[in-house]
Chains A and B, each alone.
Chain A
Amino acid sequence: MIYINNLSKVFTTTKDSFTALEDINLHIPKGAIYGIIGLSGAGKSTLIRCMNMLENPSSGEIIIDGQNMTQLSGKELRKTRQSIGMIFQHFNLLESRTVSDNIVFPLEIAGWPKKKITQRVRELLPLVGLEERADAYPAQLSGGQKQRVGIARALATNPSVLLCDEATSALDPQTTVSILDLLKEINEKFNLTIVIITHEMKVIKEICTDVAVIDQAHIVEHGPVESVFINPQSGVAKEFISSVFPNQLPAQLLAELAQRPGSQIIAVHFLGTAASEPIISDLIRQCGVTVNILHGNIDRLRSTLFGTLTLELQGSPANLQEAREYLTSRNLTVEVIQ
């Protein structure tokens, strides 16, 4: 659906140059909600802006629906952009137009006939829940409502891709959830591919099917959200995950536990149904270890359960080994902390 091959972007000023993206390779499948997360300045906006050529890549290619974006003429690019919607952190609505006229705007650009435009606006207003506010000006709307206008406007021309650059970063947590729910709904309803740029792991956790982690111009890891959450490879990814699933033990406690002989601390990550099985009692009975529960949490990852249990195991080295193997055999991911 979207292929990004060897993409690089170097910003050059008269004095020096700055590499904002280096050798990026990504495949975004059709119908995915693909999250790209990174710290501020990592290159996220540059990456998403390259996708619709708001930023000109220095090298590499971007292929959307079989079209090589980097090789289109000005006119072809404008035509293609009509099938790639985009929403923004600061909404970027036309202040001089009402809600419905903002939704009309991309249709005017695309040269739709008046009658079809009116009909399309009538479909879009209820989709984003703004029938009542059709004649309001953006200045009269809340942030969440403004983003809903942004979404309706981006969907107006029936695009196959929706690009979201920090679409919820200017919103409060509750409004963020309602906007994410709306994005999920349109993803399912129209099988729309959504690319989401964010610095909030919460966004990834709520709706993304896949995630790529970008750090200092590079993609440091990517994959289905579940596997990245269960088994993060990079330091950045681990930090992001602990921001939504905090399971760090206090250093003092770890130091105390380290003094005990035959003690091992492990974190057990579980997904979906495994959460409801009697693992702890089986562990004690079958592996001859004693188990001390230090910390646990459970939450939703998209719509599946995701949790972590931090345990202290006590026993002989052989018993500890057996315990870890038992857990792994139950499809749990075991991480040895110390």
Chain B
Amino acid sequence: MENLITMFSDPAYWDSLSRIIPKALNETLYMVIVSTFLAYLLGIPMGVLLVITSDNHILPNPWIERILGTIINIFRSIPFIILIVALMPFTELVVGTYIGTKAAIVALVVSAAPFVARMVESSLKEVSAGVIEAALSMGASPWQIIRKVLLPEAKSSLVLGVAITTINIIAYTAMAGAVGGGGLGDVAIQYGYNRYRSDMMLITVFILVVIVQLIQWSGTTLAKKLFHR
């Protein structure tokens, strides 16, 4: 107790905190936002393709469905930490380096995109065959059905998926320290675990909990607003 009071009343302590935490928070948010965005950029087309090429859908094609499905499964089964190492040459090719925040983003996107594809797939599969059939009967093209039926009808479910994906990516950013990505998870490991600074551990974990709560709450609220069934 005595110890804690001395620590908290030492201005140098707050100074070091304010140097470490905001920077780490910044890095985490940057990695999470950019990776989630890019993972969706890649994941949505893959998810859509999985759905529309499936049996009895608008463009059935067992080959595309099977090949894409297999690729997704392979990527999803590789442990993240191994993926980071395995991707190093590719990462260097894409962002010019295999360490740092940008490098971490490449690994995060590659690992999250197949997950997103499956989330999108399951959301779009909830759209009833009857509604798709109605659109077909009006002369809608496959592209119109994707844009005006599948995605809008699934938007509530898609939003919930975004919340789940983002929270998953936050958890994964903790491992981004392995390639010098920084972020809150890295602080928790560097200071909290390696240097027995349990105060650092507690603060970063607390911030992460708040972020996760906030994302889940926004996701649920928005999904409810978009849900009209």
Interface of A with B (CB < 8 Å)? 52, 54, 77-82, 84-86, 88, 90, 92-97, 105-106, 108-110, 137-139, 153, 157, 163
**Mask: chain B, 122-144; 1 = CB below 8 Å from A; 0 = not:** 00000010110111111111001
A-B contact pairs, 19 of them (CB 8 A): A54-B137, A78-B139, A81-B136, A81-B138, A82-B139, A88-B130, A90-B130, A92-B128, A92-B133, A94-B149, A94-B152, A106-B138, A106-B139, A109-B138, A109-B139, A110-B138, A139-B228, A139-B229, A163-B137
* Contact A105–B228 (Cβ < 8 Å): no
Residue in A52, A54, A82, A92 whose Cβ sees the most chain B Cβ within 10 Å: A92
* Contact A94–B229 (Cβ < 8 Å): no
Contact of B141 among A78, A137, A153 (CB under 8 A): A78
Residues of A close to B153: CB separation below 8 A: 94-96
**Mask: chain B, 152-180; 1 = CB below 8 Å from A; 0 = not:** 11011000000000000000000000000
Q: B197 interface residue, CB < 8 Å from A? A: no
* Contact B134–A96 (Cβ < 8 Å): no
* Contact A52–B152 (Cβ < 8 Å): no
**How distant is B39 from chain A, measured CB to nearest CB, in Å?**
24
Residues of B close to A88: CB separation below 8 A: 130, 133-134
Given A94-B153, A109-B139, 5 more A-B residue pairs with CB atoms under 8 Å apart are: A86-B138, A88-B134, A93-B131, A95-B228, A95-B229
Residues of A close to B203: CB separation below 8 A: none
Residues of A close to B131: CB separation below 8 A: 92-95
Q: B66 interface residue, CB < 8 Å from A? A: no
Contact of B148 among A52, A90, A109 (CB under 8 A): A109
Contact of A79 among B128, B130, B137, B139 (CB under 8 A): B139
Q: Please, how many angstroms separate the alpha-carbon atoms of A210 and B136 in the complex?
A: 28
Q: Please, how many angstroms separate the alpha-carbon atoms of A97 and B130 in the complex?
A: 15
Residues of B close to A79: CB separation below 8 A: 139
Q: Please, how many angstroms separate the alpha-carbon atoms of A197 and B22 in the complex?
A: 67
Q: B25 interface residue, CB < 8 Å from A? A: no
* Contact A109–B152 (Cβ < 8 Å): no
* Contact B155–A96 (Cβ < 8 Å): yes
Residues of B close to A52: CB separation below 8 A: 137
Q: Please, how many angstroms separate the alpha-carbon atoms of A78 and B142 in the complex?
A: 10
Size of the chain B interface, CB-CB below 8 angstroms:
22
Residues of A close to B226: CB separation below 8 A: 96
Residues of A close to B228: CB separation below 8 A: 95-96, 137-139
Residues of B close to A137: CB separation below 8 A: 228
Q: Please, how many angstroms separate the alpha-carbon atoms of A36 and B133 in the complex?
A: 21
Q: Please, how many angstroms separate the alpha-carbon atoms of A80 and B137 in the complex?
A: 10
**How distant is B135 from chain A, measured CB to nearest CB, in Å?**
7
Do A54 and B136 contact each other (CB < 8 Å), given the known contacts A92-B130, A108-B148, A109-B148?
yes
Residue in B134, B140, B149 whose Cβ sees the most chain A Cβ within 10 Å: B134
**How distant is A112 from chain B, measured CB to nearest CB, in Å?**
12
**How distant is B227 from chain A, measured CB to nearest CB, in Å?**
9
**How distant is A113 from chain B, measured CB to nearest CB, in Å?**
17
* Contact B130–A105 (Cβ < 8 Å): no
* Contact B141–A81 (Cβ < 8 Å): no
Do A54 and B133 contact each other (CB < 8 Å), given the known contacts A94-B152, A95-B229?
yes
Q: Please, how many angstroms separate the alpha-carbon atoms of A77 and B149 in the complex?
A: 19
Do A110 and B139 contact each other (CB < 8 Å), given the known contacts A95-B153, A96-B155, A105-B148?
yes
**How distant is A37 from chain B, measured CB to nearest CB, in Å?**
22
Residues of B close to A77: CB separation below 8 A: 139
**How distant is B125 from chain A, measured CB to nearest CB, in Å?**
15
Q: Which residue of B lies closest to A80 (CB)?
A: B139
**How distant is B128 from chain A, measured CB to nearest CB, in Å?**
7
Q: Please, how many angstroms separate the alpha-carbon atoms of A232 and B128 in the complex?
A: 40
Q: Please, how many angstroms separate the alpha-carbon atoms of A97 and B148 in the complex?
A: 10
